[in-house]
Structure 1
Amino acid sequence: MNIGFVVSGALTALGAVLLWRYWPQSRLTRIAGVLFVLTGLGRVIVGFGPEDVNITMHMIGALAQSPSSVAVLLSAIAIRDTSPALARTGMALGALGLVGAVLALGGQASITAFHLGVGPGLTERLSSHPIQVWLVVIGTAVMASAFKASRRSEIPATA
C-alpha cells in the first residue's frame, strides 16, 4: 500500500506538470497547479511515512494533501467558460473531496460521528481520491482533443 501511495503521488505531481500547458493561463490555474504538485508530494510523504511507523511524517504528508479539492475546484472554475460539462464534473469532484476532507479532519479530532460509522479509511479516501479521478478525466479530455486534432489534419483538403 505504501508503494502505491508513493507511485500515486509521483504520478499526480508528474500529471499536473505534464498537463500544465493545456490549462488556460490564469492565476487560478497557477494556484491549482501548485496545489496539485503539493498534493502529489504529500502522498509520496504518506507512503514513506506509514501511520504505524512514523505518525509525524504521515500527518505532514496527509496535511499536504488537504488542498487537493481546492485545486480541483480552482481548475474547474478556470475552464467553466470553455468546457462547461467538464467544469461541472470538476466542481462535483471538488465538492465531494471537500466533504471528505471535513469528515476526515473531524475524525482526526476524535469526533467518531464524522466517520459515518465506517471508520476513518472511507472518509480519508473520499477526501483524497477525487483529485485522482479529476486528473484522469482531464488527461483523457486532453488526449481526446489531441486525437481529434490529428484526425482532422489527416483528412485531405478537397478542392
Structure 2
Amino acid sequence: MQDMHLAFNTKEEEMFPHLLPMVELVLSPWADKVAVVLVYVDDLISTGDDLEDIKRIHMNLGIRFQMKELGELKHFLGLEIDRNKYGIFLCQQKYFSDLLKWFGMFDCKPIVTPMDVNTKVRIDEVEQLEDYCMYRQLVGSLIYLTLTRPDISQATS
C-alpha cells in the first residue's frame, strides 16, 4: 500500500488507518470535494461527487500502475451492488448460495426463524466439534452476512 501513498504524495496522517490487512481507504485531500478510493489487494473502487476528480485520480494511478477500467461496480467481496434512482442496494445471494455449497448445506430445508431468541445453550448439551477451523470459518462467514442481513445478527452473536 506504500505505492498508493506515493502516487498521491500525501502524508500518512491524511490517510485513513488500515481497516483490514491488505485494505486501504484513501480520502481526497481536497476539502471542498469528496473523492474516495478503496483498495483491496489488487481491486480498486473509487467514488466521489465530481467525475473529473475521479478521472484525475484514475489518470494519476494509471501512471504508476497497470489498470483496467471495469465500469460501474456490480460485485465486490461477496456483495452484489445495484445502483438505481432510488439508491444503492446490497445483496449477498450468491455469497450465501456459495456458503451453503461450501458447507454441504445447499439442499437443506429453510425455516422461517433460524433460532429462537430465548434459546439457552448449556455446555453439557452441546456435541464436541470435530473441526474447530471449519466452525470458525462458518461463524465468520455468517457474521459477514450480517452486512446485508441484520436480522441474523442475534443468531450469529
Q: Does 1 or 2 have the higher relative contact order (CA < 8 Å, sep 6+)?
A: 1
Whose helix fraction is larger, Structure 1's or Structure 2's? Answer: 1
- TM-score of Structure 1 vs Structure 2, range by shorter chain: under 0.3
Whose strand fraction is larger, Structure 1's or Structure 2's? Answer: 2
Q: TM-score, normalised by structure 1?
A: 0.22
Bigger radius of gyration, 1 or 2? 2
